[in-house]
Amino acid sequence: MTKEEEEKEEEQQQQQEQEEMTKEEEEQQQEQEEMTKEEEEEEEEDLEELPWWKTSIVYQVYPRSFMDSTGSGVGDLLGIASKADYLRDLGVGAVWLSPVFTSPMADFGYDISNFTDIDPVFGDLQDFDFLLEEMHARDLKVILDFVPNHTSDQHEWFLKSVRREDPYTHYYVWEDPAGYNASGHPFPPSNWLSVFRGSAWEWVEERQQFYLHQFLAEQPDLNFRNPAVREEMKDAMRFWLDRGVDGFRVDALKFLFEARNAYEDEPRAQDSDVDDPLQYEFLEHTLTVDQPETFEALAEWRALVAEYEGRFLMVEVYADVNETMKYYGNESHPLADFPFNFLLIDSFQSRDNLTGESVMDVIDEWMTNMPEGKWPNWVIGNHDNSRVASRLGSDLVDALNMLILLLPGTPVTYYGEEIGMEDVFISWEETQDPRGLNFGPERYLEFSRDPARTPMQWGDEPNAGFSPANATWLPANANLTSLNVATQDEAEASHLGVYRQLSELRREVTFVRGDLAFPLVTEEVIAILRSYKRAPSYLLVINTSEYDVTVDLQQGTTLPEVGTVVLRSVTDTSDATMPGSKVQLSNVTLVGGEGIIFQFGQV
């Protein structure tokens, strides 16, 4: 063979080898593709297996303030129905309505005088059925507020109970006075206090007894030791389940039972700085909340709800984490699907203690205390608490929506938080909330819940497009001209836009099923990693401080060098972190209160 021939042969051989290589590679690639397809299918199945409430955002509507269809100045059911498309486009899966039942409105619907009808302020049963249809047609679930602890003092049961008319005589918690003073004035059985201030006991001349009210005097506590009461409340539940509602939020559950001996006093709260003896926090509540029988009643409701397919139960309990976890039940005795996780509210009443570290601690606290096999949830605001933008800072609105929507579990969003609504200053004269009113003109600002209950800001029209009335039950925020749905809808970057993208993003299996880790946590910053099998991983980075911070997200972590920005807070306008940009994770700058979401391959 000549040298030339030799070279030629070698070349040919090489070519052949290369072709074989490519073939092999191709086969490998094909195999891999098949794997990914298989995996994708598997992941889709993973999603399908879950009940709807595990993949949904729960959106809380305060019906008085969402949309007024009649011009009464108060929102109503048809108003809510007219916003069904908005809710669908927002990407939420379930709408929880604060109470819409017949009520004298002493506590704006939480004082119910008929559990199986709609208050005329909100509409009627026909309107309710229409709303349900509109929601269901858009694959939105409807959750009602179930208020078992008390009724209105105008409820027929109570009026008859006062008169000792059977079977209502023992429907409420009635007790004889502890004694009388020299002038014949009756003393209440014990020192128990109302959550809304003052004695929890109210004297009724006609019956010559006190009744218990853990909230307003207009909200007498039902006697859950009476089996007839238990049945009545179950009937009310059935009424709505039969009508097609998808579940309940159970109100004020921990107050359901009290100690049998109503003549025993509760002790003074230790380490409390409250010196007003009529304020609820003055006492330690050892006899009036979290009684063991509460869990029996809850188990009965769980069983009832389970008779219907695909229905859901979440419960309101403000308690320490250990106590709260009991409301989940366990594998063999399931109770609520979840008790609300109020840690993000309780721990962060102001920005003062909001740090990367404290946010991680709060997340860990829920995750590590939650019973095996249970599902977490995250609540950042509601009708009883100051709004996120006012409580923690408007610069944090997007970051905190990112947080609750991208953590494992079900997020709960209070209406208006998706556009970053703020508390409204309500003067003493305009104050509606009975809790505020009970503290008088000097102290009401600290306690009134009105500021967070103002009309939803739909547009820049008068009353923010919420109502055509001259005056609304609470005034709309003056910032409505710039802060509203219509403006944010059109803006290139907005809170609403971020929220919609988030609700879309969280459908990915990584967020539904993925693991949770904290690759970097400092005083200012928390980085939250979500990863699942071979699906893309996501890193949410939040700067909790009010100033710019630059972080090295790679140092000491196994994160890749580069991440692609998926989404960021509207407060950031720099080119470096524009969505779609590839960013060196070793050098990321976040403006104050900002959240950025990065995506990369498997880690």
Q: Which residues are catalytic?
A: 251, 316
Cβ of residue 382: shortest distance to ligand GLC, in angstroms? 7
Peptide bond into 167 cis (omega under 30): yes
Strand, helix or coil for residue 417: coil
Cβ of residue 421: shortest distance to ligand GLC, in angstroms? 18
**146 vs 348, which CB is nearer to ligand GLC?**
146
Helices (H), 264-411: 293-306, 321-325, 343-346, 356-369, 388-391, 397-406
Cβ of residue 418: shortest distance to ligand GLC, in angstroms? 20
**250 vs 535, which CB is nearer to ligand GLC?**
250
Distance in angstroms (rounded) separating the CA atoms of residues 527 and 360: 9
Listed residue (530, 526, 492) closest to 513, CA to CA: 530
Cβ of residue 148: shortest distance to ligand GLC, in angstroms? 10
- DSSP per-residue string spanning 83-152: THHHHHHHT-SEEEEPP-EE---TTTTSS-SEEEEE-TTT--HHHHHHHHHHHHHTT-EEEEEE--SB--
**385 vs 545, which CB is nearer to ligand GLC?**
385
**252 vs 570, which CB is nearer to ligand GLC?**
252
Question: 513: which residues sit within 8 A by CB, 6+ positions away?
Answer: 43, 46, 47, 532
**339 vs 563, which CB is nearer to ligand GLC?**
339
Cβ of residue 176: shortest distance to ligand GLC, in angstroms? 26
Torsional sign, CA 444, 446, 447, 449 = positive
E-strand ranges in 343-461 read 377-379, 410-414
**189 vs 434, which CB is nearer to ligand GLC?**
434
**147 vs 591, which CB is nearer to ligand GLC?**
147
Cβ of residue 147: shortest distance to ligand GLC, in angstroms? 6
Q: Closest residue (Cβ) to ligand GLC?
A: 110
Angle at 95 between CA 91 and CA 100, to 5 degrees: 155
Question: 110: which residues sit within 8 A by CB, 6+ positions away?
Answer: 98, 99, 103, 145, 147, 215, 219, 251
550 close to 541: Cβ distance less than 8 angstroms: no
**110 vs 248, which CB is nearer to ligand GLC?**
110
603 close to 559: Cβ distance less than 8 angstroms: yes
Cβ of residue 170: shortest distance to ligand GLC, in angstroms? 22
455 close to 421: Cβ distance less than 8 angstroms: no
Angle at 411 between CA 483 and CA 351, to 5 degrees: 60
Give the footprint of ligand GLC on this chain (CB under 6 A): 107, 110, 147, 215, 251-252, 316, 383-384
- DSSP per-residue string spanning 180-222: E-TT-PEEPSS--B-TTSSBSEEEETTTTEEEE-SS-TTSPBB
Cβ of residue 383: shortest distance to ligand GLC, in angstroms? 6
E-strand ranges in 359-491 read 377-379, 410-414
